[in-house]
């Protein structure tokens, strides 16, 4: 994500902070030092089918590559024996649309046919059984490794780089183009003659933007807080915004084959000039925003005119990537907050469990469990993501945890504080406040290892922990806080006794980030240093991929001096050995990663290269901080997706 929101805090509660339980956890040696504390817990794989989906090991250790040093070069660096190649960049046509104009003069209508800006999380959907041609040896024999759809989010736009003259002379046409640069892209890929190429034209290619009509479903659909003058029904909204991570499972998608796009920092697009209401303040709405000017030309972003429009964002949006005509649908049962992602796993009985992190300092981790097995739900005419229970997590100092149900009528979630289940879901943050969930250090990506049952969650950082003056946004340093001013972040993981829908769990610290060679950082990393973990991905063979998001204003300075540019590392979940695999160009974030089913191709997202450390670029000098990926010949830096392959055609990571 952009560095503009790194220090934003809107949680006014005094709920237990994760720092208050962390030191006690360390005292009982739940930080893994040379062993796996929870590995002795008996865990039954979710299902025989899912457990079998893990590809067999290719022989030898999980980490077979040579770790690379830190880098501050304006390029993508990978280990010896590997190659990285740009697949697609912001502004490239997704099908048979117009080419990118190096001076950024493409219109809004053209941007709607082009790859969006600042790509983030993604997934590869194999096309076997859906018309794969003779060049695909996997046809009829399981998932294709030669043809598929790549679906990727576009988190936000840098409006200075989006136009030749930046934000000057703002008008409705600029608002339309900025909206068109958001959303999600779908492209079709094919492997031929030893390389991947984009199929153009493709009947699957699609752009979903900030203006695409979307349905609203689930318990909050039609609620008065979602009704506007343009939509008095509260059931139809234009666009999905600020999609950061996505709905990922060990299979890569929902069990029924759809994609989940997750709205994160939606508050920055809206302008409120009066004193914000309690609901608006709890979600960070203000007069400042993040510098977007949409409100100057479109009244739906003026909160004083349309007070309910912000309530229609902060949801998870589902769509079918194989059907370009399908209507994206916001699933309100999953709750409204700054969804970093929504990671899906099945229980043995085929109930659907969805994990989400609320990406802001001092916010919560959530879990959703469907009321019925998903095949049964569909047979009964109910969508499994519309009929279930949302929970917020509580992490206790003794290494246990529990899921607190956000259910109207239970505990403090009663009138007059809350009026209905829809009200609870729209105000999910306030409901979690009332339940006493544990405030976390920016909960980011979550992924599940089916073989061990561990659920991994990255906590990027919390620079305000233990700082003065003390208060709700600055939990004080005490005996339970091992690292005040947690600038490096950490990774936690938890596990159940038998299945993912159980009400309690046991948790531990997988790694405290920082530099293990410098004791003052408090790092427990076994291997190469890193900080601000963000993306996390368990590959089919069990490799744990970790991506970092050090803000542009912090890269190479202060506590991060000597850490180089943002990077991606690979860890062995059992030994915790961690090696640096990829380093990105200047001032970028590494975000989004997926492998093909055979793990011989990896797709990696490079977001906002060349973002100004101040957060504001200069339209007269767009390449001041980076000229990647095109170098001096290019017009401006461009977020891109790269393909990483092993030169001998082997499995990535070996």
Grouping H, G, I as helix, E, B as strand and the rest as coil, residue 464 is coil
Phi and psi of 69, rounded to 5°?
Answer: -75, 170
Could you tell me what percent of the chain has a pLDDT over 70?
85
Q: How far is CA 100 from CA 36, 324, 638, in A?
A: 50, 23, 10
pLDDT tens-digit map of 491-541: 999 999 999 999 999 999 999 999 999 999 999 999 999 999 999 999 999
Predicted pLDDT at 388 = 98
Asked if the structure places residue 41 within a domain, the reply is yes
Q: Is the pLDDT of residue 402 over 70?
A: yes
- The number of folded domains in the chain is 1
pLDDT tens-digit map of 281-316: 999 999 887 889 999 999 999 999 999 999 999 999
Bridge-based pairing of strands 213-217 and 329-331 is: parallel
Asked if the structure places residue 309 within a domain, the reply is yes
Q: Is the pLDDT of residue 214 over 70?
A: yes
Asked if the structure places residue 178 within a domain, the reply is no
**CB neighbours (10 Å) of residue 432?**
31
Asked if the structure places residue 483 within a domain, the reply is yes
pLDDT tens-digit map of 341-375: 899 999 999 999 999 999 998 899 999 999 999 99
Grouping H, G, I as helix, E, B as strand and the rest as coil, residue 395 is strand
Predicted pLDDT at 362 = 87
Confidence of residue 129 (pLDDT cuts 50, 70, 90): low
> 512 near 526, Cβ under 8 Å?
no
> 570 near 653, Cβ under 8 Å?
yes
> 330 near 216, Cβ under 8 Å?
yes
DSSP-based helix, strand, coil % in the chain, nearest 5: 15, 30, 60
Phi and psi of 68, rounded to 5°?
Answer: -105, 160
pLDDT tens-digit map of 247-279: 765 555 699 999 999 999 999 999 999 999 999
Domain extent at residue 293: 3-69+90-164+208-646
Predicted pLDDT at 467 = 66
Predicted pLDDT at 45 = 45
Asked if the structure places residue 185 within a domain, the reply is no
The DSSP element (H or E) to which 345 belongs, if any, is strand 343-346
Confidence of residue 21 (pLDDT cuts 50, 70, 90): low
Predicted pLDDT at 61 = 86
Asked if the structure places residue 202 within a domain, the reply is no
Arithmetic mean of pLDDT over the chain: 89
Predicted pLDDT at 54 = 47
Predicted pLDDT at 468 = 62
Beta-carbon contacts of 159 under 8 Å, excluding residues fewer than 6 positions away, are: 166, 167, 174, 178, 291, 292, 293
Asked if the structure places residue 651 within a domain, the reply is no
Give the side-chain half-sphere CA count within 13 A for 28. Answer: 16
Grouping H, G, I as helix, E, B as strand and the rest as coil, residue 648 is coil
pTM score above 0.75: yes
Asked if the structure places residue 201 within a domain, the reply is no
Beta-carbon contacts of 451 under 8 Å, excluding residues fewer than 6 positions away, are: 45, 51, 54, 542
User: What's 271's DSSP letter?
Assistant: B
Give the side-chain half-sphere CA count within 13 A for 243. Answer: 34
Bridge-based pairing of strands 526-527 and 577-583 is: parallel
Q: What's the CA gap between 500 and 455, in Å, rounded?
A: 9
């Amino acid at each position: 994500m952009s560095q503009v929101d790194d220090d934003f805090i809107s949680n006014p509660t005094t709920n237990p902070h994760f720092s208050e339980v962390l030191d006690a956890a360390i005292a009982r040696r739940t930080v893994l030092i040379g062993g796996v504390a929870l590995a002795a817990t008996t865990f039954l794989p979710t299902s025989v089918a899912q457990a079998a989906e893990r590809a067999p090991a290719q022989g030898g250790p999980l980490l077979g590559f040579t770790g690379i040093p830190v880098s501050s070069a304006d390029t993508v660096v990978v280990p010896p024996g590997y190659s990285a190649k740009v697949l697609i960049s912001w502004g490239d046509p997704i099908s048979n649309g117009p080419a990118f104009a190096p001076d950024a003069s493409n219109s809004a209508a053209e941007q709607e046919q082009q790859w969006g800006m600042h790509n983030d999380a993604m997934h590869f959907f194999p096309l076997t059984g859906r018309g794969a041609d003779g060049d695909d040896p996997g046809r009829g024999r399981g998932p294709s490794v030669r043809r598929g759809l790549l679906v990727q989010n576009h988190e936000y736009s840098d409006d200075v780089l989006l136009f030749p003259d930046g934000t000057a002379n703002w008008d409705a046409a600029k608002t339309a183009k900025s909206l068109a640069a958001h959303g999600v892209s779908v492209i079709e890929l094919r492997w031929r003659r030893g390389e991947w190429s984009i199929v153009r034209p493709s009947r699957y290619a699609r752009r979903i933007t900030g203006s695409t009509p979307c349905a609203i479903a689930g318990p909050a659909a039609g609620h008065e807080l979602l009704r506007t003058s343009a939509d008095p029904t509260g059931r139809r909204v234009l666009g999905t915004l600020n999609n950061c991570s996505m709905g990922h499972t060990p299979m890569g998608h929902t069990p029924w084959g759809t994609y989940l796009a997750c709205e994160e920092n939606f508050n920055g697009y809206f302008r409120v000039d009066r004193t914000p209401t309690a609901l608006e303040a709890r979600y960070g709405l203000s007069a400042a925003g993040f510098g977007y000017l949409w409100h100057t030309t479109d009244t739906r972003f003026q909160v004083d005119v349309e007070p309910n429009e912000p309530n229609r964002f902060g949801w998870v949006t589902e769509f079918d990537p194989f059907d370009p005509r399908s209507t994206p649908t916001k699933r309100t049962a999953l709750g409204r907050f700054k969804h970093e992602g929504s990671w899906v796993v099945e229980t043995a009985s085929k109930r659907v469990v969805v994990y989400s992190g609320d990406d802001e300092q001092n916010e919560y981790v959530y879990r959703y469990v469907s009321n019925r097995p998903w095949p049964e739900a569909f047979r009964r005419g109910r969508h499994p993501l519309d009929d279930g229970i949302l929970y917020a997590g509580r992490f206790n100092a003794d290494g246990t945890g529990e899921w607190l149900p956000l259910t109207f009528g239970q505990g403090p979630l009663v009138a007059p504080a809350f009026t209905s289940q829809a009200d609870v879901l729209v105000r999910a943050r306030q409901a979690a406040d009332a339940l006493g969930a544990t405030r976390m250090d920016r909960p980011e990506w979550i992924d599940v290892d089916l073989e061990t049952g561990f659920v991994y969650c990255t906590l990027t950082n919390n620079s305000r922990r233990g700082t003065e003056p003390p208060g709700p946004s600055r939990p004080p340093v005490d005996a339970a806080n091992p690292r005040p001013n947690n600038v490096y972040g950490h990774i936690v993981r938890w596990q159940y006794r038998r299945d993912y829908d159980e009400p309690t769990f046991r948790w531990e610290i997988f790694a405290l980030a920082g530099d293990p060679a410098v004791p003052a950082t408090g790092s427990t990393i076994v291997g190469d240093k890193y900080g601000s973990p963000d993306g996390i991905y368990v590959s089919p063979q069990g490799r744990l991929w970790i991506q970092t998001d050090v803000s542009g204003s912090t890269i190479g300075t202060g506590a991060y001096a000597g850490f180089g540019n943002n990077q991606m590392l690979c860890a062995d979940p059992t030994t915790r050995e961690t090696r640096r695999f990829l380093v990105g160009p200047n001032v970028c974030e590494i975000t989004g990663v997926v492998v093909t089913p055979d793990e011989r191709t990896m797709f990696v997202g490079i977001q906002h290269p060349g973002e100004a450390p101040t957060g504001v670029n200069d339209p007269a000098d767009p390449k001041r901080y980076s000229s990647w990926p095109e170098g001096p010949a290019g017009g401006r830096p461009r977020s891109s997706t790269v393909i990483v392959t092993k030169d001998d055609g082997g499995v990535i990571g070996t």
